[in-house]
Structure formats: C-alpha cells, structure tokens
C-alpha cells in the first residue's frame, strides 16, 4: 500500500491533536507523513475531501474494546476468536479483550496460554482475560501470578458476580502485584435471586433491579478498600446511582475505573421498540430509564466513566427465540458500536473527540501500564494501527457482508450514520469497505499482499 488520504480530519487523543484538512501518506503499512498538503508526485491519491456542509472523514488510532465475548472454546456456533476479530476490525477495533466465561472458563495458566494460541491468527490483537475464581463459582481464587505470566491482561468473572468481598480483595491484591486490573460485573446475585423465585439460572432472571447494581458497586468498592491496593474496574454501568457512587469514590482518590456500553448509551426501556424476537433487547444489566441514560452520557463526557466497551455477546438464533425468560441475555456490538454512539447516543459534532478518547486512551489506561500495551497513537514512521471512518456515512445494519457469526442485535435493519472505511492493525489492512472507499485495483493488490 502506497497512497495519500487527502482531506481528512486527524484526531489523536494521546497527542492532543485534532486537525482538519490533512493529507496522510501511508506506505508499506507505515504513516510516512501527516501534513495539510502533500505533493503526491507518483503516489496514488485517495481524495476524501468532504463536500460542502459534509463533515470530513476521520483518521484516529485503532479502538480498544475492554469487553467482548468471543465464545471460544465451547460456543463456536455463535462466534470464534477469528470471526470476532474480523467483526472487531469492521468496527474499527484493533485490540479486543476476550472475556473468560467460555466453556470451560479461562481459569488456569494453561487455559490462558491456549487462549493466547487461538488468538495468534486474528486480524487484530485479541487479548485474554482470566477468571477471578475457578469455574467462575466464587469459591477458589485462580492462580493470579501464573495466569498473568501466561499472558492474561486482566481478571474477571464477567457473566457472574459470585465472589465474596474477601475473595475479591485477595485477587485485587494479587492482581495489583502482577500489574493487572480486576474487572467486576456489578450485579448482586442475592438481590436478583430474591426478586426472581422461579429457581432458574441467575443469568436468565428477568427482574434485575437498579438496586442490585448499586449494591454490587458498593460491595466491590468495599472489597477494594479492604484490599488496601489494587485497580478495580466496573463493567457496563447502567444506572445513575452507580454513576454517583463512582463519582464520589474517584473524588476520594479511589483507584476505580468504569465502562459503559453503546446500547446503554443509546437505548432505554420506555422508548425501546418491540423486536422480533423480543429477546433481542434482553441484556444484563437491562436497559434502564432515560434519566439513567442521561447520567451515563454525562459521566462519559466528564470522564467519570473512562471507556466505551461493547459487551459484544453473540448468541446462536436458537438461544434468542421462544420464551423471554429462557432466552440468553446479550447482543452483538463490535460492528455497530461507533454508529450506535454517533446516531442513537447523540455523539456526533463536538462529541467526536471525547468519544474517540473513550474508545482509545480511556481503555488503554484501564489495562496499562502493567500489561505493557502500546499506547494508541498515530506515530509518523511507525507501523500504523488506525481507523478511518466517515461519521456521517449512512448504512443499514445487516445489509451486505457482516463478520460476526451471530445476528442477535436489535438494530438489525436499522439505518445508522457512521461507517468504518478502513482499519489497519500493525501495518496490515484488517478491514476495508470497498463501497465507501473505492481504492484503485493496484492499491487493493498491494494491501492484500
């Protein structure tokens, strides 16, 4: 690949850069130059200069997703590491953290090493999280040091929250010593069980009150205080009450970070349209009220919430049909995250730089520096890891080729704005949209080689 992207907006949160009307020269997988006007000579020019009144295409560092379920091993009908990585690239993500709640779970150093091996051929970097407790049961802590040495970049029982405060405190201390964060799914299992007396699996329970989340957030913060050290990260916050708890903890200097999903930023229960099947809207934690959504958006803008994380949860169609109470929770999100935030979350215009920070530097701060991950940057002269997207390009979810093995997304068939044109991971093209970025055939041959 040897071309000049003409007339783009370059946003690099780490460098404090936001410049419109830039030419970006890419050659052999590297960013050669970023300048307002580059004399092309014999270099092919891809002219992306926007029409009057149209926002420019944006080049940014590749996105980092802190929260994806790639289902391998055990759930390959719904997703594999390789198909999930392709979906991530289509969404602009160049690093994805795969959760540990597979079958069997990633709860030993050997299983961490096996997960790392499965990720070796992915088009983007797939990182591995190890469980907090064996079998996610909350009884016996995993070998934290051993799992970190095998390549785990974080610890989480996501999908469960069975670990008592004493066990969580122990793992927080050990993970801190290994330079790793502990990610907690903040839903109190006891509260939910008391509200759902059907005796079914905790994860399938429909009544998941807001107080179950607030109770779990308080418990996790208490465990962190008992630990005396450690980095606690709270996953998929969904309520205003949780935001208030995190805000106060951070004001007190507590080492806690948090994430929010695109669907909790964009949808809320009073206005949610019916879907077919209805379980497409079933997620843990559930979609909340408009007041909660506004609180989440404000917290994201203020930096109280550090990152947008997809909670990509693919399911085979068999697990989303039939009775709502027996259907699996979760929806896909890697390919739609950017457009969901822009279109339904209202994060266009002056929101874009903040959104990009929460998709790049914010997630990096959660995982670094202990895991020694490279900072998301657009570095001239180095291998490019970046995403090019058009924030105003309209597209229909599910139209054309999709990369995830699953279709469980309530936005299927919806018209959204914001489309990824190109994703480059470590100098190699991981995704290219030929409809919106029609490269000359010579460039395509060079990129595919």
Looking at 133-209, list the stretches that DSSP marks H as alpha helix, in order from N- to C-terminal side: 144-150, 165-177, 189-195
Helix 240-251 to helix 210-227 angle (10° resolution) is 20
Confidence (pLDDT) at 269: 74
Q: Which two tokens stand for residue 50?
A: 């926007």
CA separation for the pair 329, 280 (Å, rounded): 8
Distances (CA, A) of 188 to 52, 159, 162, 216, 380: 52, 12, 8, 5, 47
Locate tokens 């009144």: which residue?
A: 53
Give the pLDDT of residue 436: 86
**Dihedral pair phi/psi, residue 150, rounded to 5°:** -80, -10
414 close to 395: Cβ distance less than 8 angstroms: no
Extents of the domains making up the chain: 2-59+380-448, 63-367
Residue 3 sits at φ, ψ, to 5 deg, of: -150, 165
Task: Provide the pLDDT for residue 70.
Answer: 98
The full length of the chain comes to 449
Q: Residue 272 contacts by C-beta under 8 Å, 6 or more apart in sequence?
A: 281, 287, 410
Q: Where are the alpha helices (DSSP H) in 252-351?
A: 262-266, 290-302, 337-343
* Per-residue confidence in pLDDT tens, the chain, 449 aa: 899 999 999 999 999 999 999 999 999 999 999 999 999 888 999 999 999 999 999 999 999 999 999 999 999 999 999 999 999 999 999 999 999 999 999 999 999 999 999 999 999 999 999 999 999 999 999 999 999 999 999 999 999 999 999 999 999 999 999 999 999 999 999 999 998 876 678 889 999 999 999 999 999 999 999 999 999 999 999 999 999 999 999 999 999 999 999 999 998 877 667 888 999 999 999 999 999 999 999 999 999 999 999 999 999 999 999 889 999 999 999 999 999 999 999 999 999 999 999 999 999 999 987 777 889 999 999 999 999 999 999 999 999 889 999 999 999 999 999 999 999 999 999 999 998 888 766 565 545 44
Exposed e or buried b per residue across 293-319, where buried means at least 16 C-beta atoms within 10 angstroms of its C-beta: bebbbebbeeebbbbbbbbbbbbbeeb
Place of tokens 């990610």: 183
The arrangement of strands across the sheet holding 152-156 comes to: 63-68, 93-98, 125-130, 152-156, 182-184, 232-234, 256-260, 307-308
> Is domain 2-59+380-448 given the CATH code 2.30.40.10 in the classification?
yes
What is the DSSP code string of 384-409?
A: --EEEEEEEEEEETTSS---SS----
How far, in whole angstroms, is CA 420 from its chain's centroid? Answer: 15
Q: Does domain 63-367 have CATH number 3.30.830.10?
A: no
In the prediction, which pLDDT does 273 show? Answer: 75
Q: Are 49 and 6 in contact (CB under 8 A)?
A: yes
**Could you give the residue numbers annotated as active site?**
311
The token pair that represents 93 in the structure block = 């993500």
CATH topology match: 2-59+380-448 vs 63-367: no
């Amino acid at each position: 690949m040897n071309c000049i992207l003409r007339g783009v907006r370059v946003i690099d949160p780490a460098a404090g850069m936001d410049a419109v009307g830039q030419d970006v020269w890419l050659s052999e997988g590297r960013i050669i130059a970023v300048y307002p006007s580059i004399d092309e000579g014999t270099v092919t020019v891809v002219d992306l200069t926007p029409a009057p009144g149209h926002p420019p295409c944006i080049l940014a560092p590749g996105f980092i997703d802190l929260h994806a379920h790639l289902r391998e091993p055990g759930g390959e009908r719904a997703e594999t590491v390789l198909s999930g990585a392709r979906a991530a690239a289509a969404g602009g993500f160049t690093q994805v953290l795969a959760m540990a709640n597979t079958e069997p779970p990633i709860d030993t150093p050997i299983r961490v090493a096996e997960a790392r091996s499965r990720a070796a051929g992915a088009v983007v970097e797939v990182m591995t999280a190890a469980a907090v407790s064996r079998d996610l049961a909350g009884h016996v802590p995993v070998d934290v040091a051993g799992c970190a040495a095998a390549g785990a970049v974080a610890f989480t029982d996501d999908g469960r929250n069975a670990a008592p405060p004493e066990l969580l405190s122990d793992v927080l201390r050990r993970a801190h010593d290994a330079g790793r964060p502990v990610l907690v799914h903040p839903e109190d299992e006891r509260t939910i069980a008391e509200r759902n007396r059907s005796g079914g699996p905790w994860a399938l329970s429909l009544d998941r009150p807001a107080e179950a989340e607030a109770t779990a957030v308080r418990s996790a913060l208490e465990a962190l205080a008992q630990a005396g050290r450690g980095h606690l990260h709270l996953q998929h916050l969904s309520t205003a009450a949780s935001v208030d708890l995190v805000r106060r903890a951070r004001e007190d200097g507590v080492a806690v970070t948090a994430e929010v999903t695109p669907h909790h930023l964009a949808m809320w229960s009073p206005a949610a349209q019916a879907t077919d099947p209805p379980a497409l809207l079933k997620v843990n934690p559930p979609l909340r009220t408009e007041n909660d959504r506004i609180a989440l958006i404000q917290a994201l803008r203020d930096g109280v919430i550090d990152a947008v994380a997809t909670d990509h949860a693919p399911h085979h169609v068999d697990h989303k049909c039939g009775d709502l109470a027996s259907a699996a929770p979760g929806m896909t999100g890697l390919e739609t995250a950017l457009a969901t935030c822009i279109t339904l979350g209202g994060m266009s215009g002056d929101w874009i730089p903040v959104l990009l920070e929460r998709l790049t530097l914010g997630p990096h701060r959660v995982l670094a520096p202990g895991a020694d991950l490279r900072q998301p940057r657009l570095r001239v002269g180095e291998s490019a890891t970046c995403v090019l997207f058009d924030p105003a390009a309209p597209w229909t979810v599910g139209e054309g080729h999709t990369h995830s093995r699953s279709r469980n997304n309530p936005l299927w068939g919806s018209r959204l704005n914001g489309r990824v044109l190109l994703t480059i991971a470590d100098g190699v093209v991981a995704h290219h949209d030929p409809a919106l970025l029609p490269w000359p055939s010579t460039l395509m041959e060079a990129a595919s080689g």
